[in-house]
Amino acid sequence: MRNRDYACQRRHGARDWLLAFTKRGAGLFVVDGKPIQAIKNRIIILPPGRPHQYRSESEAWDFYWVHFLPDAQWREWAEGLVGLSRIDLSTPGVAQRLEQAFIRLLLDQDREGPVSRGLSQASLAEILLLTLRESGWEQRGEPDARFDQVLEALSADLGAKLSLARLSVGMGLSVSGFSHWFREKAGISPIRYRQRLRLRKAAELLSRTKASFTEIASELGFHSLFHFSNQFKAWYGVRPRDWRKREPASSDETGGPPTPS
């Protein structure tokens, strides 16, 4: 967690959400050309595709970070993350609770089995909900049933070809209008959301089963083994073969600073 003279630049942003919580020291994020100080007990949160860079501003910058995509089960409140960028934790005890949730997440994410995966997801949900509460966000109105249906459609049969035209017609929108509506709700395009689900499922199958690479690629609808391998490496930084060789781990990235892209 401790980083000296650390710097990272992403001209095209990250593929998923990024949340960073500073424990001590100081860092600096530059987002869309605007500086945001990362100081003790401050959360920085960035949606997918937001160009940014960050670096340490002190001898030692200690911070927790997590890359994530909101789970479909969180749809009733996850849209509140859109528009947030900086939250200061001034409520007594909240910073300590947030750090404890990060510690639990780090402990559970590397353990095998559905119970550990559920615990790590619960810790991530606690981190995000604390962030929302401290931002002052409150859910208003009923959940969007149309959004629920779209998420279910995107999550079902990951090996089938995705038809944005069919989804948009069902919503009474054009393809571009549907894509814009979905991005406002989820903070990511429907195509990237579906691809993230497929790759996360692939990582799980590689870690939890003995299915061949060809079988996994076919089950999840990749055009070829070569296409699957390239897409997996582009997302996770390693080939499927190398992922399977290492210890099973959560497909969400959590911990210290991510590798610069």
pLDDT tens profile 64-122:
999 888 887 787 788 788 778 889 988 889 999 999 999 999 999 878 788 888 899 99
- In order, the DSSP letters of 140-206 are -S---HHHHHHHHHHHS-TTSPP-HHHHHHHHT--HHHHHHHHHHHHSS-HHHHHHHHHHHHHHHHH
Residue 150 · residue 194 · CB < 8 Å = no
Which letter, b or e, does each residue of 105-115 get, where b requires 16 or more Cβ atoms within 10 Å of its Cβ?
Answer: bbebbeeeeee
- The C-alpha angle with vertex 104 and arms to 25 and 9, in degrees rounded to 5, equals 45
**What is residue 251's predicted lDDT score, i.e. its pLDDT?**
42
- Answer with the residue of higher pLDDT: 248 or 77: 77
> Does the pLDDT of residue 150 top 70, yes or no?
yes
> Does the pLDDT of residue 5 top 60, yes or no?
no
Q: Are residues 64 and 175 in the same domain?
A: no
**What is residue 143's predicted lDDT score, i.e. its pLDDT?**
58
Q: Is residue 212 in a domain?
A: yes
> Does the pLDDT of residue 1 top 80, yes or no?
no
- Answer with the residue of higher pLDDT: 132 or 172: 132
Per DSSP, 40 falls in state T
| Nearest-angstrom CA–CA distance, 125 and 101 | 9
| Nearest-angstrom CA–CA distance, 89 and 137 | 14
Q: Torsion angle of alpha carbons 131, 135, 141, 142, nearest 10°?
A: -10
Residue 257 · residue 8 · CB < 8 Å = yes
Q: Are residues 106 and 233 in the same domain?
A: no
Q: Are residues 184 and 57 in the same domain?
A: no
> Does the pLDDT of residue 6 top 60, yes or no?
no
Domain with 44, as residue range(s), is: 2-140
> Does the pLDDT of residue 132 top 80, yes or no?
yes
Residue ending a domain, choose from 140, 158, 174:
140
Q: Are residues 59 and 103 in the same domain?
A: yes
Per DSSP, 94 falls in state H
Chain centroid to Cα 178, Å, comes to 22
**What is residue 235's predicted lDDT score, i.e. its pLDDT?**
83
Residue ending a domain, choose from 104, 120, 140:
140
Give me Rg for the CA atoms of the chain.
Answer: 19
- Answer with the residue of higher pLDDT: 86 or 9: 86
Residue 220 neighbours by CB under 8 Å, 6+ apart: 158, 159, 198, 201, 202, 228
- Answer with the residue of higher pLDDT: 74 or 249: 74
Q: What percent of the chain has pLDDT over 70?
A: 88
Q: Are residues 129 and 190 in the same domain?
A: no
- Answer with the residue of higher pLDDT: 6 or 235: 235
> Does the pLDDT of residue 154 top 80, yes or no?
yes
**What is residue 64's predicted lDDT score, i.e. its pLDDT?**
93
**What is residue 256's predicted lDDT score, i.e. its pLDDT?**
42
Q: Is residue 82 in a domain?
A: yes
> Does the pLDDT of residue 248 top 80, yes or no?
no
Averaged pLDDT for residues 162-173: 84
Averaged pLDDT for residues 149-166: 88
Q: Are residues 71 and 186 in the same domain?
A: no
Residue 37 neighbours by CB under 8 Å, 6+ apart: 26, 27, 28, 29, 57
